[in-house]
Homo-oligomer: A and B are copies of this chain.
Amino acid sequence: MARTYRYARPSIAVDIVVLTIRHEVLQVLLIRRGIEPFKGKWALPGGFVRVEGGRSGLGESLDAAARRELREETNLDVDEVWLEQLHAFGAPARDPRGRVISVAYLAVVSPERFGQVAAATDADDTRWVPADDPPALAFDHPEILAFALGHLRRRLDQDPRMAFHLVPRELTIGDLRRVYEIIERTTYDKANFRRRFLRLVDEGKIERVAGQQATGGRPAAVYRLVE
């Protein structure tokens, strides 16, 4: 035990890039800082990892810290969120308070599930803003946000599960296509996108559910992600 103490120690934090799609725009959740440093500026939700207390006396895991901060700061139903570690940011001067290393997380939530946060949208201290055009951010949070967006865009094709957390649990093919188009900032041919989607049905990853959904045109078939 003693050996560890020969080394100076940093503080360790988690910062969470919470993304959703609102009003056809990819948005990120920000919190206005109430204390120094960067008081009054916008920042990603996050906080320090607890490294003592709890069952083991050694605190919580990084994932647990991310989930806890998310719950405390955003009122999200954390169990419904896609949460994934991104990268550790450790530039020596990234925090004016001293040496703080931050482990960044990506959280992806669907519009239907952020009810509690939506309520806070009007609040002065919590706000959804366009992810590609955020206000000035505290610390190195611009870098973290850019990393998260790059990650999301790279991963979207490879792992469709992430995209499914941005749509309602029961979705139409058009719903999913709009998510892809907004994130990738392109358009997809609806016939070709449909065929790609239907392959996932063949593979058993998605199943059709009964009923239809009104759309403004012909009603659409409804699908659901298979657990």
Interface residues, chain A, with chain B CB atoms under 8 Å away: 1, 3-4, 7-12, 35-36, 48-52, 54, 56, 58-62, 85, 87-88, 90-93, 95, 97-101, 103
Contact = CB atoms under 8 A, between A and B. Distances in A.
Given A4-B11, A11-B4, A51-B9, A61 B85 contact: no
Contact of A58 (B7, B56, B60, B98): B98
B100 A49 contact: no
Contacts of A51: 7-10, 92, 99
Contacts of A11: 4, 7, 9
Contacts of A93: 56, 58
A1 B98 contact: yes
Contacts of A62: 88, 90, 101
21 contacts: A3-B36, A3-B97, A4-B11, A4-B95, A4-B97, A4-B98, A7-B11, A8-B50, A8-B51, A8-B52, A8-B59, A9-B9, A9-B10, A10-B49, A12-B12, A52-B99, A56-B93, A58-B99, A59-B99, A88-B88, A101-B101
Contacts of A98: 1, 4, 58
Contacts of A100: 4
State the number of copies, please: 2
A212 to B, nearest CB: 38
Contacts of A50: 7-8
A170 to B, nearest CB: 31
A100 B101 CA distance: 13
Contact of A92 (B3, B54, B92, B95): B54
A43 to B, nearest CB: 14
Contacts of A90: 12, 49, 61-62, 103
